[in-house]
Structure 1
Amino acid sequence: MALHESPAAATVMTAPDTPRPGLVVVIAFVVTLAGRFTLTRAGLDIPVANDVRVPLFLILLLCLVLEAHQVGRRPAKGGSALLGILLLFGYQGLSVLWVPPGSVTGPALGDLCAVTVLLVIYFNLAAWDRDRVTEMTLKLFYVAAWIYFVAAAAGLGRHEAGRWAALGGGPNVFVRIMIMGVFTSFYLYLRSGERLMWLASIPVFLFGAIASGSRGGLLSFAITVAVALLAIRPRIDIHRIARPLALLAVVAVILVITAGPSIADFVQKRFLESTVGEGYTSDRDVLAQTALRIFWQRPLLGAGLNGFHTIADLGFGERYVHNLPLSIAAEGGFVGLALLVLAWLGLWQAYTAVPVRERSLESRIAAYCGIFMGATSLFSGDYYDARLMWIFLLLAVVRPVRAPASLAR
């Protein structure tokens, strides 16, 4: 199973006279990447618009409506996968009915609604032209990775402890962007006919990932690579990989010599002394134990949306579990876990329903990006931070219905 796109999968799925998605994909990417960025971080205070999602979502929905009117209805396969995710979100929203007294559910409920809107938008974009949408999204992530790296290298937004971050996001956000830069570099390498220039950025982004100090992000990358190798089972061709490996080695050596000393002390303290020597876990073990305790106390329905924060009472900085399955277990119980598994199984069924030779390069890369984002949700983030996992997995499985040959001419 190779990552290269098969001729069958490269066939255009839309009629030649159908316009291809463009600006609306860029806006959707900006909305997705912006997260919960607020204008107050920039020193501004504009009622309603302080949460940039409000104006950005309005603009995005308007653009999508205008584009949909022009393109018309586009049937797609893989809709059952979206339904499984929406069932999970619907149940989580319904769980506000049994939260403990004093629970603040508004922000979490708003996050679920925001992710739902994003998924519906990306589903419609994928139904329009999935491979085009995925290609543009991956290229935009490549550009974003460079912007984030340059900003962090310049010291803009760097964490107090020396961990690299940029543009208002924390180190755990930064590492996700860096690893996405690695994936998109590899994608552009394959897409361009294996032009080596695209591989030169991989050591750069890996350097940024290490400088973030995010152990969970790096472990998630390792998990994704292991899954990919088990799935692809590549045959090693020394003559084919010699030049790429040589290029990667040269760039990596240059980075280590020139920039390595600037993070050497930090890396030693963060990864060796704190993690290996002292077993420092950033209280993730405490959060996991607390989530399990709440789950066993309320095994069927859980504590309800944001109930973990109310019951655990661990302070302002620990509002969530930093582990998606455990968070759903604590706040949704067995029912929530069952719906989570059902959503993942629905995505897996939709992906495997497509014969291996018919899966496009974009579909494969989107699947591995989704796996990476899913792995990071085991170590950091909340429900809204898992949005990229759902988006990429949806892009991997949703595809336009091929137009009949007589209509495509």
Structure 2
Amino acid sequence: MAARKLGVVMNGVTGRMGYRQHLVRSVLAIREQGGVALSDGTRVQLDPLLVGRSATKLREIAERHDLPRWTTDLDAALADADYPVYFDAQVTQVREKSLLKAMDAGRHVYAEKPSAESLAAALELARHARRAGVKNGVVHDKLYLPGLMKLKRLVDSGFFGRILSVRGEFGYWVFEGDWQPAQRPSWNYRAQDGGGIALDMFPHWNYVLENLFGRVRAVTARVATHIPQRWDEQGRRYEATADDAAYAIFELDDGVIAQINSSWAVRVNRDELVEFQVDGTEGSAVAGLHRCRAQHRTLTPKPVWDPDLAETLRFRDQWQEVPDNALIDNGFKVQWEQFVRHVVEDAPNPYDLLSGARGVQLAEAGLRSSREGRRVELTELTA
């Protein structure tokens, strides 16, 4: 049986994330596998219509991947009834306006995070989707990382007993751009362009924490701009006005305390670029992007503090590797498949615009905590 088609307007595919993760590794990978499998055994094949500001870049991408449809006219793309889904991977500053326009055109919407620059705007997007009666979703890709999927398996099995704390370390050294090109775009370091690591990463930490350990109820944070001057893509020096590091304590349900450091001004001395250590009464685990290692209570060593003797125990060797036990697909692709099923057959999708608003709420609360030097509680959000 031939797969049915689902047209998707993809805005922002000339950017790094929009192109690599969403177009190539998700939508085109789904096309290669023959579409998204539905519960009745049929399949849905995706038909992308590329949208962006640069005709030159769009044409080059379209020709590279043999894609016939592209345009710089978003209004025209949204007016095409053959494309009922709109996806947005633009810079945060312009995302809200485009999502509203797509919903007004009756399109189901799927977006990168953060969904908006402010909590008020993010909430309005969620409410607008409800009024418009359209399906909606926000990218929650890190939930599908192999390491975090293994970690969730441990959580769901009760391995930890009562979870006590979570400690996370994320980041790497992003070059300033003078003597080596920066690995991230320059707008990330300009607050006026929607940059800042808190706005970028706190929405991620919010959905990771709430889906694995419990809702975030309060935050105490300190943000910093450690590197005050950087060089942009044209080699011009500019003032970094956005935070490049954020240090936070998150208070979760059931008394769980999470501490997460996020920094683009740190050199990596760990196995992966992000790692979470979870400690519980019955066991602990350390999870990264791919690996997860665990140590049960019965296998926990008994170190003794003695500053006069060199440590002979090899602590990392005393942890056990959690096996894959399954083929784990690209996280972006898996969530694309989930959203397509949500649109086509009303399958569950908890990662909607309201969930995205909670991520923006946490970022806003963290920045407020840093600015005012105090703990900030989070209120319940409704659309």
TM-score by length of 1: 0.26
Q: Which has the higher helix share?
A: 1
Q: Which has the higher strand share?
A: 2
Higher RCO, 1 vs 2 (CA within 8 Å, ≥6 residues apart)? 1
TM-score by length of 2: 0.27
